[in-house]
Structure 1
Amino acid sequence: MVSTKTKKGESGSSKKQITNEVVTREYTVNLHKRLHGVAFKKRAPRAVKELKKFAEKMMKTPDVRIDSKLNKEIWSQGINHVPYRVRVRLARQRNEDEDSPHKLYTLVTFVR
């Protein structure tokens, strides 16, 4: 009996498809695990960076923008007491700016 093995990624799905559709999704982001071991005076700034990284990974757009209400929610308890979890809405939208190299951007907003 001969077993046929294919290399990983040999099928047609190996090419990454750039998504051009506008879509909105909601997530609960666990900031507690992302900020474990971070110095107190760097927690809120790191939380914003981690949210941007999360949004970029989920929506596959390098241009990520944080809403001011979400920023206020992260900073509401001070620089070193960031909320453990935050509920966010990620909206992939078309970029109106013609000068931008990216066609889409992600807007991250706070959900109560």
Structure 2
Amino acid sequence: MLQGVLSGWIVVADCCSVIEAQTRQLITTNRDKSSKMSTSTKKPAGKTQRSAIADVVAREYTIHLHKRLHGVSFKKRAPKAIKEIKAFATLSMGTSDVRLDPQLNKKVWEAGIKGVPFRLRVRISRKRNDEEGAKEKLYSYVQAVNVQNPKGLHTVVVEDA
């Protein structure tokens, strides 16, 4: 009886030593692979630049204003919505210069300072800045898009004609 139990322990100990050896082998091979990968996939020292064609683009987004204005007091909702739209455009297009269409402003303020729409469908266009002495080469122009229900619509790249 005791001998059977001891032999069982020996089998378990043998299995553990085999598993330990296999894990050691895996760890060493992974170290070798990671060292090889780090040397071969290094990025060049210089910055990679976007092409000029890719700079000018227009996309349609749905901005969920309701979640962005949660907890904002009623008398600050529409001004905060305008700020959130600008922040969204800055984040999505990567330009610090964001300009809003007057029709978009009217759409936000349509139901008053408290009644900001839950969702807005907007077209954000990244354009070249042709002004003399401009700080930024590109700017974003945000326009409202009329849709029946903006809920569930995905981001779409718009081809400007």
Normalised TM-score (structure 2) = 0.61
Aligned to 1:30: 64
**C-alpha spacing 1:49/1:58, structure 2 compared with 1 (3 Å):** same
In the TM superposition, what is the alpha-carbon distance from 1:86 to its structure 2 partner?
Answer: 0.3
Amino acid at match of 2:130: E
Can you list the C-alpha shifts for 1:53-106, whole angstroms capped at 9, x where unaligned?
Answer: 000000000000000000000000000110000000000001111221101000
Which whole-Å CA distance do the structure 2 matches of 1:107 and 1:17 have between them? Answer: 22
Bigger relative contact order, structure 1 or 2 (CA pairs below 8 A, ≥6 apart): 1
Q: Which moved more, 1:69-78 or 1:97-106?
A: 97-106
What residue ranges of structure 2 are gaps of 5+ in the alignment?
A: 1-27, 147-161
Aligned to 1:72: 106
Aligned to 1:81: 115
Aligned to 1:12: 43
4+ residue segments displaced more than 4 Å: 15-20
Amino acid at match of 2:70: H
Which whole-Å CA distance do the structure 1 matches of 2:100 and 2:49 have between them? Answer: 25
Number of aligned residues: 109
Which whole-Å CA distance do the structure 1 matches of 2:111 and 2:133 have between them? Answer: 38
Q: Provide the identity percentage.
A: 50
Can you list the C-alpha shifts for 1:15-68, whole angstroms capped at 9, x where unaligned?
Answer: 675674200000000000000000110000000000000000000000000000
Alignment root-mean-square deviation, CA: 2.2
Report whether the alignment pairs 1:55 with 2:92. no
Higher strand proportion: 1
Superposed, 1:38-49 pairs within 5 Å as 38-49=72-83
**Residue 41 of structure 1: SS of its match in structure 2?**
helix
Aligned to 2:132: 98
What residue ranges of structure 1 are gaps of 5+ in the alignment?
A: none
Which whole-Å CA distance do the structure 1 matches of 2:87 and 2:49 have between them? Answer: 20
Normalised TM-score (structure 1) = 0.87
In the TM superposition, what is the alpha-carbon distance from 1:11 to its structure 2 partner?
Answer: 4.8
Which whole-Å CA distance do the structure 1 matches of 2:48 and 2:63 have between them? Answer: 25
Q: Which has the larger radius of gyration?
A: 2
